Amino acid sequence: MNISYFDIDREAENKIKTSVKKLTRYRDKVKTVVRDNDSAVPEYALAHIKDPNLHDTIDNLKKQFKGIKHLVLVGIGGSNLGTEAVHTVLDQGRVNLHSLDTVSAYKMNKVLSELESVRSLKKIVVCVISKSGGTAETLVNAGILLDRLEKKFGKGIYRQTIFIGNADTNFMKTGKRLGVTLVTMPEVVGGRYSVTTEVGLVPLALLGHDTDAFIDGVLDVTNEEFETEVAESAARLNYYLNKKYTHYNFFAFDIRLERLGAWYRQLFAESIGKEKDRSGKRVKKGFVPTISTPVELHSVGQLYLSGFAGVYTDFVAFDDNTIDFILLRRWRPLFTAG
């Protein structure tokens, strides 16, 4: 991983170092939560991933639904964006992912059409995720999808369905009545951070990804090297926020990173989009997060790089050392200016 910064303000580094020092108490708190597996606070999202029961759940579900070819993920926001982001970056083509994240007749019809050719019930798993159990978009999509699939496959479709959410909600009670597989998540963990819980790990495992490697990566985030990078990044964003920057741009320099940008935008917006701060004061500063790709390099990129004020940009790219192409000599004149 390579990280570099370019700041337009010469005062930035000293101010950022000061902000990092102010984060000391909170950083110590997070380290303690991870060390002690403190399940009473939201930061437990970083520790729950070590829970042996979680690992048993993943292993059991992989055996129960072995050999599937299609996973339909029904959720919205944190319930599906994290899984989509990781899957898009790491996709190995083992299982087809179909995502229903908003109420759209077009998208519902598209998913049902893609499943039309499936003849064996054992090839499909439907994973419905609602932390609160009352997410309107998720419940509507799940109702329509399962009703249509029940007409095609019969009641057996519920044996191929997983409900993930907080325990004892009406959503989970309905799932028990239907005979679906119920998976609970830690209630203390907020939905936007739930990719490190059953919400993200169960579908990623069923999609065929190496969840052990993913778990190792999450644990790495809490070590000294990466934790320091996180603190400095937060301080840098705060610095430019106080400089009255209003626009955060996630520039994804690879098509595989676009969904990662969408997930980061969701985390970013939901975290800072508050009416009041923790001290009760009205929030008057904030960023509007957007995503750019190389497709917009000669338009949006040109706009930003020409000196458009108030934009903080993260450029995110892969270091592809396994894929390379050689530009043949006879084509080079076409790319030579003059």
CATH of the domain at 247: 3.40.50.10490
Indicate if 53 and 171 belong to the same structural domain.
yes
Beta strand extents in the chain (DSSP E only)? 70-74, 96-100, 124-129, 161-165, 181-184, 247-252, 288-292, 311-316
On whether residue 331 sits in a domain, the answer given is no
pLDDT value of residue 299: 87
DSSP state letter for 322: S
Which mean pLDDT values do the consecutive 10-residue runs of the chain (338 residues) have? 65 86 94 94 94 96 96 93 92 88 95 95 97 93 97 96 96 96 95 92 96 92 88 92 92 90 92 89 92 87 80 85 66 53
On whether residue 215 sits in a domain, the answer given is no
Indicate if 28 and 66 belong to the same structural domain.
no
Indicate if 184 and 280 belong to the same structural domain.
no
On whether residue 323 sits in a domain, the answer given is no
User: What amino acid is encoded at 205 in this protein?
Assistant: A
What residue numbers bound the domain in which 164 lies? Answer: 42-209
pLDDT value of residue 338: 46
- As a whole number of Å, the CA-based R_g of the chain is 22
On whether residue 150 sits in a domain, the answer given is yes
On whether residue 271 sits in a domain, the answer given is yes
Indicate if 91 and 28 belong to the same structural domain.
no
pLDDT value of residue 192: 86
On whether residue 264 sits in a domain, the answer given is yes
Phi-psi region of 233 (alpha: psi -120 to 50; beta: other; left: phi over 0): alpha
pTM for the whole thing?
A: 0.89
On whether residue 301 sits in a domain, the answer given is yes
Indicate if 28 and 47 belong to the same structural domain.
no
Indicate if 231 and 146 belong to the same structural domain.
no
On whether residue 128 sits in a domain, the answer given is yes
Q: How many folded domains does the chain comprise? A: 2
Calpha distance 133→170 (Å, rounded): 6
Indicate if 94 and 179 belong to the same structural domain.
yes
Q: How far are the Cα atoms of 6, 251, 291 from residue 302, in angstroms, in the given order?
A: 17, 12, 15
Indicate if 226 and 269 belong to the same structural domain.
yes
